[in-house]
Copies of this chain bind each other. A is one copy, B any other.
Amino acid sequence: MFRGFFTVSIDAKGRVALPTRFREQLRSETSATVIMTVNPWDRCLWFYPLAEWERVDAKLLSLPDGDAASRRAKQVLRGYATDCEFDGQGRILMSGEHRNFAGLQHKAALLGQGNKLELWDASAWERQRDEWLAQIDSRTTPVSGVLQDLSL
């Protein structure tokens, strides 16, 4: 269970250091490999422990190839899913494509999201967050029904 918010820095070589807390959690799993893929809704990256990713992968695999939308989902999510390992310093090297997809610059925001970690470019994250907060603030736009019924 990944929980918490952290700001992390990405160095000139495209390496990101996850907080030790998460590193230990990932290591304690059966395998230390991490699967990095893209979030189809937002321009950010997801990090899954291998075991967790396999569950997601199995779900994707069952989608029919004949349907274009299903096929695309498979291709993008599975296609971008890349095995990563930690270096001696507990950092993960991200490829240029993944960094470009999420618009990652020097500073990034890392969000624990239960079964996975979410990595945003810091400024992109702040923009999104402020946008959401502004929407909630101006009560003119009612919150969607799903959210309304949740007791938080």
- Chain A 113-127: CB-based contact to B (< 8 A → 1; otherwise 0): 110101000000000
Within 8 A of B (CB), among A25-79: 35, 40-42, 46, 56-57, 59-61, 63, 65-79
Q: Kindly list chain B residues whose C-beta atoms are within 8 Å of the C-beta of A146.
A: 63, 67, 69-70, 73
Chain A residues in the interface with B (C-beta under 8 A) = 3-7, 21, 35, 40-42, 46, 56-57, 59-61, 63, 65-83, 95-98, 111-114, 116, 118, 128-129, 132-133, 135-137, 142-143, 145-147, 150, 152
**Beyond A3-B35, A57-B114, A63-B146, 11 additional pairs, beta carbon < 8 A:** A3-B83, A5-B80, A7-B97, A40-B133, A41-B68, A59-B150, A60-B150, A72-B129, A75-B128, A76-B132, A79-B118
